[in-house]
Chains A and B, each alone.
Chain A
Amino acid sequence: MIEKLILGSLVVLLYFDYQTLKQDKKSKKIYLMMSIPAGYMLYSYLSGRNLPNLDEGFQLIIGPIAEVITSWLQVKS
């Protein structure tokens, strides 16, 4: 419960931070763009669903190459 309250107040604080941008429309757009992944992760965290995240994205793109390199580097005992 406390966790949800803290995260909720964080969202309110971010809203006030967003309001400080006033007439700077381009900055506002970027701010909103950044808040989309934040909202997604907040939902993922609070719902406990463990939705796919940045590391899974990297894993998908780079994972196979990383696997080849590390399996070569690891010494089999």
Chain B
Amino acid sequence: MHTGKISYWQMAVLFQVYMTGSALINIQGPMLAAAQNSAWIAMLLANLVGFVILYLVLTLHNEYPDQCYVNQVRLTLGNVMTYLIIIPLFLVMLYITANIVYGMGQYFTTSMMRETPLFIFHLLILITSSLTAKAGIEVMGRMFHLLMYILFFIFIIMLILPYNTYEINNLLPLAPQGFKPILHGVYVGFGFPYMDVLFFAMIIYLVKQKPGQSINKWLYLGLFINGIVLTLTILCSLMGLGPLVFLKKFPLHVLAQLISIGEIVERVEAIFGIALILGTYMKISLLLFILDQALSTLFKVKATHFIFIISAVVLLLSLTMYKNEIELGESGSFLQTTVTFFFGFLPLLLVVIIAKVKNKKTA
């Protein structure tokens, strides 16, 4: 188990970049495809579901504040059940990390650097992320602070500059096909990014506890900001691009292409690429750290030993799982939610209920 400790604010920053990082770029396409014009409502509802997951995670954290999720399961259900729950969850986390890596590589090979082989992007981001994860949680807590400001600065600029293309009428009709597409959007949002809240339970215990204070409000606030940010990106994409938005995999990239101010500020989508790299880099670094945490705690060995081999597995998964971007899209919006629900959410619910009952009995 990792031992470094970070402050409440640093943990809130890590949570924010973890939740918003890659979702800032990757969520609009699948969400708009599923929920069409009402994608922003679906995003808000999915955010509400995220609050439920965070509530469960924090309930467990309050029961065992000094333990990571693996040990929380161990203390609640015993050793055998821990293996049965954590090994599939570990595989799910590997799968999701590989999906995120592939999503970033795919963005670059389809929109900016078409001639460069996919594996170059995967390799470079994983080398950088694994070295960052190896440096530990304190380094990430300090470093991601500044990067978060840069990420949000780019995000705000990207949404403000194309203001002259926004048409509020593009948001209408709101839900022409009824409530089902909204539910579909919530289904997509549940799998990515909101089930990722559970994986964060592996590192919440690394916060430096202060008497009379709690991490809960910071994380709830972080999740709320995340919901607002992602909803804004969908709203702006819809208003700026109109019906064209449903044909685009990365609407924010197209929105950035539309920016034109006095023929001086033009074609700024490269800056959008920077934001994508930043967000993905931070998310993958944290996921690699979380994966190492899960593995080392599960087998009760020293932490940080496995970051490089996990990175290698993620690299190879990202290179071999999908033949093309269509397969990734299908996997992301079709399979990911169900997989995370069965291997992540249901065990979490079970553990929380049993932990509550157990602790009530002992009290």
Contacts and interface: CB of A to CB of B under 8 A. Distances in A.
A55 B316 contact: no
Contact of A37 (B301, B313, B319, B322): B313
Contacts of B95: 54-55, 58
14 contacts: A10-B315, A24-B305, A31-B305, A31-B306, A34-B310, A41-B313, A45-B319, A54-B94, A54-B321, A55-B322, A55-B335, A58-B339, A59-B335, A70-B187
Contacts, number: 112
B288 to A, nearest CB: 13
Contact of A27 (B98, B180, B301, B338): B301
B178 interface: yes
**What is the interface residue range for chain A against chain B?**
35 or more
Contacts of A35: 309, 312
A62 B309 CA distance: 27
A61 to B, nearest CB: 8
State the majority secondary structure of interface residues on A.
helix
A53 B312 contact: no
A50 B334 CA distance: 21
Interface string A9-41: 010011001100100101100110011011001
Going nearest first, the 7 A-B pairs with the smallest beta carbon separation are A41-B316, A66-B338, A73-B184, A34-B309, A75-B177, A17-B308, A27-B301
A59 B320 CA distance: 15
B131 to A, nearest CB: 12
B309 A73 contact: no
Nearest to A21: B305
B309 A17 contact: yes
B299 A63 contact: no
Given A30-B306, A38-B313, A41-B317, A73 B299 contact: no
Given A27-B306, A62-B342, 10 more contacts: A6-B123, A17-B308, A34-B309, A37-B313, A38-B313, A45-B316, A66-B337, A70-B333, A73-B183, A74-B180
Interface string B103-131: 00000000000000101000100000000
A44 B339 CA distance: 24
Contacts of B187: 69-70, 73
B317 A24 contact: no
A38 B334 contact: no
Contacts of A3: 117, 119
Given A41-B320, A63-B335, A65-B338, A75 B181 contact: yes
Given A13-B308, A30-B295, A31-B309, A53 B317 contact: yes
- Most interface-central of B117, B306, B338 (chain A CB within 10 A): B338
